[in-house]
Structure 1
Amino acid sequence: MTYKWAAGAAAVILLGGAAQAQDVNAAPAYGSVTLSAGFAQDPTSVGVQAGGAINGGSIDFACSGYISHQPSLNLQYNAGNLPLFISGASDADTTLIVNAPDGSWHCNDDAPGQGLNPGIEFSSPQSGVYNVWVGTLSAGNGYEPTMVHISELGFSSENAYSRAPNAALQPNSGALSLRAGFSDDPRRIAVRAGGDLDGNRGTGGYCWGEISEAPDVWLNYSANNQYDLYLSMESDYDTTLIVQGPDGSWHCDDDGAEDLNPGIHLTDPVAGRYAIWAGRYSGGTLADATLFVSETGFRGEIDVPAVLDFSLPANYGSVSLQAGFIPDPHNLALQAGGDVEIYEALGQNCRGFSTTAPDYNLNYSAGTLDLYISATSNADTTLVVNSPDGSWHCDDDGAGNLNPGVHFDRPASGVYNIWVGTYGEIQPENATLHISELAFGDEYQGSDALDYTMDASFGSVALTGGFSPDPHAVNILAGGPVAAESAADSMCRGYVSAAPDYELTFTPGSLDLFISVLSDADTTLVINDPNGNWVCNDDNNGLNPGIHFDMPAAGTYDIWVGTYREGLSADARLEISELGFAD
């Protein structure tokens, strides 16, 4: 059965019937204590060394920490009407395992309000022997000095063995007093980074590096609401920074100021004394470093807000494309990345680092096809697009294999501003930007057949014999990447798109049906008729194609208009008539 102190707090686990590697009958390593309800010295405290080689999970998977074979301490307790509290206090992250008089096991890692210190409460304690083990959360930590507290009033975090950072000790490198808006920004102080204390001791367990017990610098700061405070360091070594604010809160960083240099940015800093420790990430001898105190940015550099500005000229220019453009995809080689953190600029789910200016601008005239914008690279890249309506669209790996892609299923006409970023803040990486109406990246490789089930690129019409006006005409863009000879019929010529350009649903009367094309380029015509037959023509009237159905069938005619040469596109006019070919 499981008891939880509070939402989000570590659980105290009551266990029964578990296999044990621990020996409750072994002599306790640090002796025994006998107490009766109402004992005067509350808490009664015993110094022990936490840790061992046995995984507490051997009692139950819910127990944590590494303990010794024998109990750390035995408590002989004569119960009354009060609850019983057993807790531990240490500079290290410790755990607690207790075998109660009835043989049940109880485990805890972090008791409520005790930081990384464990504690177990018995609300209706039994009389008898409580075997107490104190463990370290991680293996290989050695034996950590810990105070075990036994109380009927509550948990205790007092630790006579503590060697945690002590902000009250005189600083190693002196003190600095500054008022908000100070001149000569940044102020620099030479420090020696490092020490013999683990930076996560007594700092909440989330700090890095080896530090001294005393702070390196005191900063006495008179704050106002106009300035932020930036604390950073610079060194030839990998250093860390630990700061305790006037309100007792801890702030830690490793590489926030770039190039293995730490930096802490305090927004709305409070007035008072800041105790600052300079650490070394991997220990070793003390390292020379410079501490910077600034109100403008890390190391005194101006902290420029992250912005993506679509009004700036694009790094690699622009292109104007019309629906049905050839070749598809339109590709551009560029360098991805930059020094602007995209999440800071846009928020949402946007990731990566880019330049302030867009990399490329697309001026797009939309038709009925979708629009795919993507990038491929050997690096992990990201994509940001500002669409014509001003909305932002971001992606990381949507095109597969760490490649980003943004799909517009109903694209608007107008300007698309495009940024290609790198996921990490690294040197710019080679990448290729792809703009397509078919698929992401290089996914579309053409088709070995024309697909009349696809939506026609330039729309459709239903006509009945005797229709007016005659001819029915539509402007299209001829051409595509697919060879009609292999995709439709060996008698067909030219290069077309996979999807039809136009779809005619026809109910015939007594007249013939003429479908033809007018263009300044050499164009071809491919039609799949209602009976599924492929009908093609190249030069019916000069370089213009035309097909005559003398007894037209009722149904759907899927129509492709191609260019005779590969890789070209051309403006063309498709005409449907019952009177004759286009002139």
Structure 2
Amino acid sequence: MKLFLASIFVFLSMGVAAMACPNYQLGGNAFSYTGEQLYTPTTFGVQAGGNNSLTNCGLGSLGSGNFRSAPDYSFDLTGMDQYLLAIDVDSQCDAALLVNTANAQWLFDDDSNGNLDPRIELNNAAQLNGRVDIWVGTFSGGACSGTVTLETFFNQQAPAPAPVPAPAPLPANCPNWNMQGAQIQLTGDQLYAPQRYGVQAQGSMSASSCGEFQGTGYFSAAPQYSFYLSGMDAYRLAIDVVADCDTTLLVNTADTQWHFDDDGAGYPNPSLDLVGAQALNGRVDVWVGSYNGTPCNATLNMETFYASAPQPQPQPQPVSGCPTFALTGQQLNLTGQQLYSPQSYGLQAGGGADVSGCGINAGGYANAAPNYSFYLSGMEDYRLAIDVDSQCDTTLIVNTADGQWLYDDDSNGNLDPRMDIRGGNQLNGRVDVWVGTFGGSSCPATLNMETWLN
């Protein structure tokens, strides 16, 4: 039903402009939750903003605001019959909230959470059981960092659930997935490039006293890291620790299962190999403990591998015409901290449009749609280096978060381009990237991105 209604929305909206309007056919960062899981408030980082006005998209009757085309998050919700769902935003600007419910209803709010921030409450099972898409925009343009929080409450209009006997309480300092560590969002694609995080291996509570899992060593109550993972269906996740002391590793996966290891990477370092979309798509909490209770500095390593041989995916047909940010490329959410570890992305350089006639002060040939649309946040302290490696004469076109067009041809040497971009106004928000060719040919290429401290 939602797909059918989406088709009606596309054809009845404002022609070509509708291509850039909020569209739930695009999908956002995907997570799955039950009503019971969301009874514990769950918070996600978000960059509020967008270039698409609701008024220009045929949604002006809902309110005023500017949003991206693709939702920031797509939640697959189940077991919501007895619950009310509250969605609220905290931000540093005048944020707005747009929701498309499981039964394809559009909802909007501006200031109901106070402090110029929005809040929406849903209390109908038809709206909640299924996919719920969320956009966080701004009331009058611009962009800022913020958070969006989901929490369920028992719906007084629904029958009260039968009481469940309370389990015997565990010691207060035991590892507890109701607490959160440092929050990081990652996709399976991003983790294909190994990620490393500094951590203090420590803890005051012996695992043998906690009972919820079988393990040894000493852990803290809160995880050191809470990873919000998406796009993990094709991958397995390898986690290991390198340290100068005897460490242990504890993980609570998205399906709330505990996993423990002591010396899987060879004494004294632990490792775990996790697989399964249900276990990995969602929040994954990680504790690094000490076997004997003595703290030490450690490094947490995470990397994905294909769970099986990857199947070739059909490539979208290039759209002819000049480069335009009304279209989106492959979408990725990244922070300045994540990009401090270099990231690389494969693509096919080239396109059918002679860019010299497009009025954006660029040359070469490129497609209308960007190769990648990056949603960046936390970039204030960084400059961003973007370069290309290829076997042909490539060009690089970037449309920054503040709408500026940038172009380069050969600054990376070997007929390849490079740019250095700095400034939060240019980098915090959506940054679109096209890799074209100077002579109209086409070739495989690699796009490299890395941040450096200003």
Larger relative contact order (C-alpha < 8 A, sep ≥ 6)? 2
TM-score computed with the length of structure 2 as normaliser: 0.38
TM-score computed with the length of structure 1 as normaliser: 0.30
